A and B are shown apart, each in its own frame.
Chain A
Amino acid sequence: MGTDCRFRQVCHVWRVTALPPRFADWFAARGWTPRPHQLAVLGAVRRRESALLIAPTGGGKTLAGFLPSLIALAEAPPEGLHTIYVSPLKALATDIARNLEAPVAEMGLPIRIETRTGDTPANRRARQRARPPHILLTTPESLALLLYDPEAASRFAGLASIVIDEVHALAGTKRGDQLALCLARLARLAPGAVRIGLSATIAHPAAIRAWVSPDGKGGATAMIAGEAGAAPEIGMLIGPARMPWSGHMGLMAAAAVLARIREARMTIVFVNTRAQAELMFEALWKHNEETLPIALHHGSLAVEQRRRVEAAMAGGKLRAVVATSSLDLGIDWAGVDQVIQIGAPKGVSRLLQRLGRANHRLDEASRALLVPANRFEVLECAAAIEGVAAQDLDGDPPRPGGLDVLAQHVLGCACAASFHPDDLFAEITEAAPYAALAREDFDQVVRFVEDGGYALAVYERYRRLFRDAEGVVHVRSEAVARRLRMNIGTIVEAPVLKVRLGAGRGGAVLGEVEEYFAAMLAPGDTFRFAGRLLRFIGIRETSVLCAEGGTGEPKIPAYVGGRMPLSTNLADRVRLMLHTPATWDRFPEPVREWLGLQAARSALPAPDDLLVETFPRGGRWYLVAYCFEGRQAHQALGMLLTRRLERLGFQPLGYVATDYVLGIWCAREPTGIGRLFEEDLLGEDLEAWMAESSMLRRSFRNVAVIAGLIERVHPGGEKNRRQITVNTDLIYDVLRKHDPSHILLRATWADAAHGLVDLARIAGMLARARGRVHHRALPRVSPLAVPVLLEIGRERVGGAEAEEALLGEAEALVAEAMGTGTLV
């Protein structure tokens, strides 16, 4: 009797926390034991709870997400879709499918696993419709396409589990907004399905749990932490050359970087921009006499090219890859044992993500090197190393969901099934990004989807949706649904042209460049792309035709956006370091000397004041403010300050912003500096300036495409393009003037305030600086001000007024060169 009891107790424990025998044997055969977090996820699912698993890479995170499904399906495999896995990357979905096949085959489980992405051929899609797999691996966009379909209700009715990979990379983005809405939809179609979110370590775990949870508030969702990995070993690599004053490319360190590549098995060399990737790749090969296999990987290269590089990495055939954020996420490469970050790391969380790409074994420390490209970056790298040691994660909690994404979702839901607005509102407010959405905003979004939602209601006859007597909303025609299917998703690319090798149509595609770059090339010009030196031949339809080789100074394609601002946490550390000379001994001699001179000639910025220097130079007066709030915030601040200086009669001539410093130059000596930075600065001209700025126009373009106001341009459809698409800048101007409170303009403003201008950082800085502006009037430029002065002329200037000035300057220059006074 006693033994029986004990046996039952053991059985009970076994059932709750451990694996069925078939799985236990499989683990044992590999010499593995299930990790506690894998069992914790299993426990949550058995309690019919959702889970957020936060663990570093290499901890068996993916298996933890699938284990509950594999066990359930091994016990009783029903027909129909059981589990969906969503990943931000197509390649990751494919890779995970491959990895899952191993345990399934080895245990002889009767489970069918398939992927579905934008690349899935039509015949496979049709087969999946007729006979769905048990486990479907997909992307947010492909999931949305499945859900915005009349068959969605029957297709997903039996769903039991949803695994969301890399949640940290999705939450807070528009792709994440769409996925959150789709999850809310799935919760209606399959009320029993649990969600398992997999995330890297993040600054705001509670907010991510809310994002994963079925009620959008964190309910019924277990928070599970994986074991922490060994602390990474990070060093700083300072080249033998004198540390430059400015510049962000870090090319002078190429030889030293190559030496470190030689010492490791496989290295990822991370850089911050695609242009930098091209240049660093070239610089490394210049020194690479023993021809170590070093490849290039960035988001503009052709997909096939990227896949080839990834395959070579997986096969251990490479010694190094120069990469941008295109390798931040993705497939685990066991072979990578060193990460080198060239240039400023910008934030601790981002650096940790990149460090995680090396060494996928928890018990071994990952090795990393930071290579600063200029003096300020030395400080930033040191701050980042401190920040990583302190696990001082940065990043903002996810922002509220975009109204443009909601508009696409509302139309999608209407295409799947008629709905009553009350029900849909209740549903979407269970998605965390929309939990706080006002009913009024929701109704405006629905009105926009119906007929454009304009104050001037003239589109009655062109409605996309109509309401019946009970208020139920129906889609008007199949044409509306077809148009939606062609325009699904939230990724909006700048117009691009394919780069093709050879003069004919059949040439190999190397990748893509933005349209404006291609437009600047003249036949015979050379440019550097995909690690090659190319000669421009011409533009045919949607392709840039080019040949290998060429002479003359090559141009490097640059891409709009993509530059991250310095995080607040890192900025605080840099400021503290500057003010604490005892910490300087880790810096190279030129940097120590530089800071020492600054202390002697001017002052060092203190953690709790705002140092502002003014000095004359070359007939102008310079004002340099050490704000440390990141480039975007400084740019907005620069505009505000120039307007105020203008009003005060100091005749400002221009400004330049870096991540650390704002510099303004004037015709007259600015005085009364404390007054300049008073907090009312923010109210004055910001709105007018932002409305005119190119970033708001870019934002509007994205919003207009996502919300379905204008259609996407599809490759091959370019010939009709001029008839179908309308320049969104023109629409923006007209809408702003004639319907300023339109929902799409509000969506644009929300985007800009959150992501583009860092308004909160400007406001915070002005509040901190109140009464603490430390003004130094100097006879000449200070050592700390040199880097920002060197940036003058390199920076792009935004805004329509700046454009006018630039055009006038170019006109005068050309007229002078051509020897004509006027050109008429």
Chain B
Amino acid sequence: MTAAPIHRAAGRFLLDPAGAVFWPDRRTLIVADLHLEKASSIAARGGLLPPYDSRATLDRLALLLRRYAPERVIALGDSFHDAAGRARLPAQEASHLARMEAAHRFLWIEGNHDAGAGLAEHAEGDAVFRHVAGEVAQGQIEFSGHFHPKARIATRAAAVARPCFVADSHRVLLPAFGAYAGGLEVTSPPIRALFPRGGQVFLLGRERVYAFPLAHAGKAA
């Protein structure tokens, strides 16, 4: 696994191919849109999806915690698919999450799915953390989730679509970390509007991320 470094005024950040950002200066791991207990939320409406999404998501998070050994984890909202999600966690997953919370400091930020489950936003030095991208002051860097960005890149043989980071000089959109979280094309208007002067996408690969200009995503070969 090789994480791609980006350098901003606030410092150096590593974009990990698992879909998380590591901030070495503050020993902080940043993830977005875990959507825990999405399956059971849908099951209540009749769709009996495999009930292993929380387990899969937490297992992937545990791998990152072992790799980076962060002091702190910032979850950028929609950590649970609905407000009652935490209460529905199966016993094994609940204790897994409890062990993680005991070993690392978790900073929960609330999202639209889990309103009230955390801070509205958090600012620290020149970095600001929130669920939905907003106003960013000069010299600041903002980390947000919500949109579940994915990009489609034309290659020699076929178009390849992957979840991705989208970044410019003052914003980083994180891909959704949850096992069942789908994606929104970076070509869609809500994402485009956040990057009027262009930017870069970093597609998640197995061992590393693949970088392209934002304008290149969704283009024909």
Residues of A within 8 A of B (CB): 451-452, 454, 456, 458-459, 462, 464, 479-480, 483, 516, 519-522, 525, 555, 709-711, 722, 724-727, 730-731, 733-735, 737-739, 742, 793, 795-797, 800, 802-804, 806-811, 814-815, 818, 822-824
- Interchain CB contact (< 8 A) of A807 among B155, B184, B220: B155
- Which A residue sits closest to B220, measured CB to CB? A520
B52 contacts A by Cβ under 8 Å: yes
Q: What's the Cα separation between A800 and B158 when bound, in Å?
A: 12
B66 contacts A by Cβ under 8 Å: no
Contacts A452-B48, A726-B180, A807-B153 aside, 11 further interface pairs with beta carbons under 8 A come to: A451-B48, A479-B46, A516-B161, A519-B152, A555-B220, A731-B49, A793-B156, A804-B205, A807-B155, A807-B205, A808-B205
Contacts of A814 in B (CB 8 A): 212-213, 216
Q: What's the Cα separation between A733 and B49 when bound, in Å?
A: 12
Q: Which of B135-153 contact A (CB under 8 A)?
A: 152-153
B28 contacts A by Cβ under 8 Å: no
* A735→B52 contact, CB < 8 A: yes
Contacts of A735 in B (CB 8 A): 50, 52
B159 contacts A by Cβ under 8 Å: yes
Nearest CB of A to B193, in Å: 16
* B211→A709 contact, CB < 8 A: no
B219 contacts A by Cβ under 8 Å: yes
Nearest CB of A to B80, in Å: 15
Q: What's the Cα separation between A824 and B152 when bound, in Å?
A: 19
The number of inter-chain residue pairs (CB within 8 angstroms) is: 152
B53 contacts A by Cβ under 8 Å: yes
B123 contacts A by Cβ under 8 Å: no
* B53→A734 contact, CB < 8 A: yes
* A810→B154 contact, CB < 8 A: yes
Contacts of B210 in A (CB 8 A): 807-808, 810-811
Q: What's the Cα separation between A584 and B211 when bound, in Å?
A: 54
16 contacts between A and B (CB under 8 A): A452-B48, A459-B43, A520-B152, A520-B221, A709-B49, A710-B47, A711-B47, A722-B182, A734-B53, A796-B157, A802-B157, A804-B207, A806-B156, A807-B205, A814-B216, A823-B213
- Interchain CB contact (< 8 A) of A806 among B47, B53, B160, B206: B160
* B205→A727 contact, CB < 8 A: no
- Interchain CB contact (< 8 A) of A797 among B42, B157, B187, B219: B157
Contacts of B42 in A (CB 8 A): 724, 726
Nearest CB of B to A530, in Å: 20
A-facing mask of B16-49, CB < 8 A → 1, else 0? Answer: 0000000000000000000000101011101111
B134 contacts A by Cβ under 8 Å: no
| Size of B's binding interface in residues, CB under 8 A | 53
B116 contacts A by Cβ under 8 Å: no
* B159→A516 contact, CB < 8 A: yes
Nearest CB of A to B102, in Å: 24
- Which A residue sits closest to B5, measured CB to CB? A824
Contacts of A818 in B (CB 8 A): 213
- Interchain CB contact (< 8 A) of A462 among B38, B48, B162: B48
Nearest CB of A to B119, in Å: 25
Q: What's the Cα separation between A824 and B12 when bound, in Å?
A: 12
B78 contacts A by Cβ under 8 Å: no
- Which B residue sits closest to A798, measured CB to CB? B158
Contacts of B56 in A (CB 8 A): 733-734, 737-738
* A809→B155 contact, CB < 8 A: yes
Q: What's the Cα separation between A727 and B184 when bound, in Å?
A: 12
* A795→B48 contact, CB < 8 A: no
* A709→B212 contact, CB < 8 A: no
* A807→B154 contact, CB < 8 A: no
Contacts of B205 in A (CB 8 A): 804, 807-808
Q: What's the Cα separation between A733 and B48 when bound, in Å?
A: 16
Nearest CB of A to B104, in Å: 24
Q: What's the Cα separation between A802 and B43 when bound, in Å?
A: 35
B172 contacts A by Cβ under 8 Å: no
- Which B residue sits closest to A739, measured CB to CB? B50
- Interchain CB contact (< 8 A) of A709 among B47, B158, B162: B47
* B46→A483 contact, CB < 8 A: yes
- Interchain CB contact (< 8 A) of B182 among A522, A711, A727: A727
Q: What's the Cα separation between A711 and B42 when bound, in Å?
A: 11
* A734→B158 contact, CB < 8 A: no
* B52→A738 contact, CB < 8 A: yes
